[in-house]
Amino acid sequence: MKNKKQIIGLNLFIIVIAAVYAVLMIMGNVKVVKSSVATVGGSYGEEYAIENKLNQVVLSDSQLPYFDQRYELFDYNVENGEVVLEGYEGKSSDLVIPAVLEGKPVVGMSDDFIASMKTVKNIYLPNSVKTIPEEAEKSLTLWVSEDSDLNDLPEESEWKIEHYYDSDFINFYLSELLFNYNVNGETIEITKYTGNDSLVVIPAYINGYPVTDVSMDFLGTAEIIVIPETVNNITGTSSKALYSEVFLVELIFTVMAFLIALITIDVLLPRYAKNLEEHFLTGSQMISVVVYVLAQTGFGIATTYFIILPVFLALIISVVILVVFIASMMLAGTGRKQAIEVEKRVAEKTSKMKAIKDSCKNLAGDVRDAQLRKEVQRLVDEIRFSDAVSRDDLEEMENEIEKAIAELKNSIASENTEEIKKQIELTMKMVKERNLKCKSGK
């Protein structure tokens, strides 16, 4: 019954630890993460950040050109690994031609491309563009660098050529447009960010249309979001509950620790008898189970509240804790087996003398003569206090003692006084010799 109570107590202990752990871990990891934003001073974005208590950085005047991103969408053909622009349906007045599309250089513009532009007044060209249509629209101005091949156009060309002297603020290498958006009349609404960058710059214009509406629902993956001056409406939530990857790893390993502990206690280790009172679970194994559960839950809580660890390191430590537990259980099991073997050998070695002691326990009670009964009792006491542990070299003597006691019993039964005295003397001598040899061999 004692073992049964221990097992019930251990099960309750593990369940309580599991409940406490779950509460602590969930409380520690449900963190409201608010977006960090960079805004333009005096803009709607700045007002929104202040109202929602977001972490905010106001862009300086020198930073504004770097974050003024304007994406343009073109029709184009790819030939021999080079891109030629064929059409533009946007409404920008100042159009920046990209240096690269689909990873291939933009080298020219077709007549149809020039004809497709309805609102464009200025075209900014990268040095990758080598050819342009011969005829020009007088209303168009080409802005090129001083070392561009287009500076050598024939004198009769009608293109108006101007030089840009600071190309730092002209982004010819905008990345792929990683946003889903809707066109609402003359404005753009951004609904989703499809990339995975930590810095997300919301474009001010897409195809010449201003970005005025932004949904903040997609901002959970970004460390900082740049909101342009064009935005005048922000919807969705600017914060979300996030769980760390380390939390997920430790939650899995700790739940596994609870399950392993319960399975170990209730399935793997029990050796129940029919009355459910016998239980084969050593103290060292019980300690191993408790230490494993405490170590894993303690480490999980530590990584949640106190220690910042990379995911792979937290994983390795949890695996090490599990391996140490398995090793300790195996060693404890081996020790238990060895103890059982020792107990078995001791039982075998004590079984002969135990049988001898049991056989002569009530021997004196059958003797009628008082004096003779005392002598028999002295023999019984000598046997009773003999060392119970035997050895192989004592086996023959113990067999002879056993025979002598049988003869003594026969003599007592026949009430042959002389024979009883003779057998007492002989048996006493044999027992003392056996005990002396037993002590000398230790």
Burial class (CB in 10 A: 0-12, 13-18, 19+), 310: exposed
What is the pLDDT, as a whole number, of residue 245?
75
**Residues 211 and 234: beta-carbon distance below 8 Å:** no
Q: Which of 142, 169, 196 is the last residue of a domain?
A: 169
Query: Sheet containing 94-96: which strands, arranged edge to edge?
Result: 94-96, 122-124, 141-144, 160-163
Angle between helices 2-29 and 245-263 (to 10 degrees): 170
Is 113 in the same domain as 260? no
Of 437, 418, 434, nearest to 382 (Cα)? 434
Q: DSSP states of 54-121 as a string?
A: -EEEEEPTTTGGGG--EE--EEEEEETTEEEEEEE----SEEEPPSEETTEEEEEE-HHHHHH-SS--
In a domain, 196, yes or no: yes
In a domain, 219, yes or no: yes
What is the pLDDT, as a whole number, of residue 349?
57
In a domain, 351, yes or no: no
Of 390, 282, 393, 295, nearest to 329 (Cα)? 282
Is 198 in the same domain as 162? no
Q: Which of 222, 240, 258 is the last residue of a domain?
A: 240
Is 24 in the same domain as 40? no
Q: How far, in Å, CA of 109 to CA of 84, rounded? A: 5
| pLDDT tens-digit map of 77-109 | 999 999 999 999 999 999 999 999 988 999 999
189 contacts: CB under 8 Å, gap ≥ 6: 181, 182, 183, 211, 212, 213, 214, 215
Q: How far, in Å, CA of 375 to CA of 373, rounded? A: 5
Whole-angstrom CA distances from 7 to 189, 213, 281 are 63, 62, 9
Q: What does the CA dihedral 341, 343, 344, 349 come to, rounded to 10 degrees?
A: 130
Is 249 in the same domain as 234? no
What is the pLDDT, as a whole number, of residue 278?
41
**Residues 222 and 200: beta-carbon distance below 8 Å:** yes
Angle at 392 between CA 386 and CA 393, to 5 degrees: 80
In a domain, 355, yes or no: no
User: Which position has the token pair 């003999």?
Assistant: 386
In a domain, 61, yes or no: yes
Is 282 in the same domain as 196? no
The one-letter amino acid code at 48 reads Y
103 contacts: CB under 8 Å, gap ≥ 6: none
Is 325 in the same domain as 267? yes
Is 281 in the same domain as 333? yes
What is the pLDDT, as a whole number, of residue 128?
93
Whole-angstrom CA distances from 380 to 45, 364, 406, 412, 437 are 105, 8, 13, 14, 19
How many structural domains compose the chain?
4
What is the pLDDT, as a whole number, of residue 78?
94
| pLDDT tens-digit map of 63-75 | 888 888 999 999 9
In a domain, 345, yes or no: no
Q: How far, in Å, CA of 344 to CA of 321, rounded? A: 35
Is 275 in the same domain as 332? yes
Bridge partner list, 123: 95, 142
| pLDDT tens-digit map of 137-173 | 777 899 999 888 888 877 767 788 899 887 767 889 8
The parent domain of residue 207 ranges over 33-66+182-240
In a domain, 354, yes or no: no
Report which secondary-structure segment, H or E, holds 36.
strand 36-40
| pLDDT tens-digit map of 378-412 | 888 888 888 777 677 777 888 888 888 888 888 88
Segments of the chain scoring below 50 in pLDDT: 1, 272-280
Is 88 in the same domain as 219? no
Is 188 in the same domain as 141? no
Q: Which of 240, 260, 280 is the last residue of a domain?
A: 240
Is 148 in the same domain as 220? no
Is 393 in the same domain as 267? no
Q: How far, in Å, CA of 54 to CA of 111, rounded? A: 49
Other C-beta atoms lying within 10 Å of the C-beta of residue 402: 17
Global pTM reads: 0.50
What is the pLDDT, as a whole number, of residue 121?
92
Q: How far, in Å, CA of 439 to CA of 442, rounded? A: 6
What is the pLDDT, as a whole number, of residue 27?
63
- Token pair, residue 302, equals 């530590």
What is the pLDDT, as a whole number, of residue 273?
40
In a domain, 175, yes or no: no
